[in-house]
Every structure is written in C-alpha cells, then in structure tokens.
Structure 1
Amino acid sequence: MKILLIFSAATVLLGCSVKYDTNTIQNSTELLIKDSPIVISKPADGVYETRTYSGSGAATAAAVKAAFARYSDSVNVFTDCDDIACLKSNHVIGLGYYVIPQILHWEDRATEWSGIPDRIEIKITIYNAESNSRVASTIISGKSKWASFGGDHPQDLLPEPINAYIASLY
C-alpha cells in the first residue's frame, strides 16, 4: 500500500511540471553588450499539421522582446520581417544585434482532456549588426505538464526558457 501511495505521489508530481530542453546550435562567440540596440523579427505563425495558430508569431516575438528588455532600453520588434536579410535591409543599425526567432513546432492540445501535452520548439538566432556574424543560435523546446486543469497554452511555455537563454548571453 505504501509503495502504491509513493508511486502515485511521484506520478502526480512529475506530471505537474513543465519540461524544457535547449539544444545549442552555436555557442555564443561573444558576450552581448548591455544597452545595445536589439532588433527582433516577428516569426511566421506556428503550424501543427493543417492548423495555423494565429498570433503565435507575435507571442513569440513578445516573449523574446521581454527577455531582451531586461538588458537594453532599445528593443524593437518589426512585424514586416521574418529573416535576417529583411532586417538588415529595412531596419539598419550600426551597433547592436539582430534577433531572428523562428517557430519550428507549435502544438496546442486539450491536455486536461486528452493527457497530450502542449509542445513548442523555437529557434533563436542572434547576429552582431556591426560584424554581420552569427553570435549564437539555439533551439528551445518545451512540453507542458499533463496534469493541467485548463487554461494552459503553448505561449505559456515561452518566457521561462527564453529568459534563461537570453540571460546566459550577457
């Protein structure tokens, strides 16, 4: 009976936590300079199978902006660009960084009914505006807890791992 109780408690506790993973594509080649201008592109909305999640690109850009706002007073998101070429030609900065978030996976599930967790996978690439070189790149993935009581969405998975990643660059 005790074993069953311990197993049940462990299952509930493990099922109630959000899981994140960061897969570094390129380690930071330099520490970012605080108070440098940051220019962020708005990624295209996420798609899962045939469903497009309207607003997911804006939510991702907002989470990235909020993370950088802790280190710079000049952080701007541009909705007319979703790649580095567009940012460099339409939103030129001499010093600072271009940030390209990209949604690789966005899955919003009725977790509280199905037990299938929400999932995200976001790629963030940062370029030095002065040298035009890629400074860092990573893929952040997250999976919601399965013991959800409603109200959880993929965008709720964004702030914690993005804040941690951006903090590691300064």
Structure 2
Amino acid sequence: MRVPMILALVTVLAGCADSHRWSPQQNGSARITTSDRIFITTPADGEYGDNVYSGSGRNTAKIIYNAASAKSHLVRIGGLAENYQDAINQAQGAEQDILIFPTILHWEDRATEWSMISDKVEIKVEVIQVQTGAVISSGIIKGSSGLATLGGDHPQDLLPQPIAEFVSSLF
C-alpha cells in the first residue's frame, strides 16, 4: 500500500515542476561593469497561432530589468524594437553602453489545469556593447510549466529564475 501511495505522490510533485534552461549561442570575453549604462529594448508581444499575448513584450523587458537592476543602478527600458538595427539605434540615441535585445520566439499560455497542455516560452537574448557592436553574450531561454499548476500560471512566470541566472553571469 505504501509503494503505490509514494509513486502517486512523486507523480503529482513531478507534474508541478516547471522546467527551464539557458542555451548559450555565443559568449564573448567582455563583461558588464556596474558603471555601464544598460539599455533593454522591449520586444514585440509574443504570439501563438492567432493569439497575440498583449503585454508579453513589456513583461519580458521588465523581468530582465528587475534582474539587471539587482546588479546595477544604471538600467533603463527602451521602447519597442522592431529589429536589431532599431534596437542599436535606440541604445546609441540614449547614449548607453550595453544593449540587451530580447526577442520572443515562442509564447504559449494554456489553461494547463484542465487541458494538460503546458505553458511554453522561448526568448532569445542578445547582449551587445553599443560602441563596438561586439556581442558579449547571446542565447535562448526555454521554459515549460508543469502540468499540475492549479491555475494562475503564465509563460512570464517561467522567466525570472533563468533570466536572473543569465544576467548574473554577465557581471
């Protein structure tokens, strides 16, 4: 009787666990210092099929801002960046040292508690020295919610931990 009960408990707890990972694509040798002015562009809102998740771009920029602000006081969020050149132009116009350019690649907010389909998120993040155009780091953060969410979870809830870890690695 104990073994089936333990297996059921382990299964339920495993269903609650979110998963996320950072997959680096490029890591330069340069690091961000606390005296660098950091500019975070706002990505376009995430989409899945015909659904556009209004505010997801701003949420993503804010999560990155919160992580960077824990390391530096010289952090600001810029406007919507349609593309890489637009992001560079915004950062140069604001006389910033470092550009963090996030792009939402996948954003899927599901009613997991009844559909048993996980929320999913995938964000590409590029960190660039504005003056030289050198890439300090770039990679992709992927996250997926557990199945036993008990409601209220969203893709942005999968981002704070991996983004905080990524930002910490830049300093």
Equivalent residue for 2:76?
76
Runs of 4+ residues deviating >4 angstroms = none
Report the counterpart of residue 47 of structure 1 in structure 2.
47
- CA separation of 1:90 and 1:32: change in aligned 2, threshold 3 A: closer
- After superposition, the C-alpha distances for 1:9-53 in whole angstroms (9 at most, x for unaligned) are 111111111111111111242222123101111101101111111
Aligned partners of 2:44 and 2:80 also within 8 Å? no
- Counterparts of 2:136 and 2:61, CA distance in 1: 19
**1:4-15, aligned counterparts within 5 Å?**
4-15=4-15
C-alpha RMSD of the superposition: 1.5
1:61 maps to 61
Match of 2:123 in 1: 122
Q: TM-score scaled to structure 2, two decimals?
A: 0.92
Give unpaired runs (5+ residues) of structure 1.
Answer: none
Amino acid at match of 1:3: V
CA shift digits 1:75-108 (9 cap, x unpaired): 1111142433123323316562111000011000
Q: Which whole-Å CA distance do the structure 2 matches of 1:60 and 1:111 have between them?
A: 21
Give the whole-Å Cα distance in 2 for the aligned partners of 1:90 and 1:147. 41
For these two proteins, the number of residue pairs brought into alignment is 170
* Partner in structure 1 of residue 88 of structure 2: 88
Alpha-carbon distance in 1 for matches of 2:14, 2:90: 47
Residue identity over aligned pairs, in percent, reads: 38
CA distance in 2, matches of 1:91, 1:28: 20
**Structure 2 stretches of 5 or more lacking a match?**
none
Amino acid at match of 2:36: S
SS of residue matched to 2:17: coil
**2:163 paired with 1:162:** yes
Question: 3-state SS of the aligned residue for 1:21?
Answer: strand
**TM-score normalised by the chain length of structure 1:** 0.93
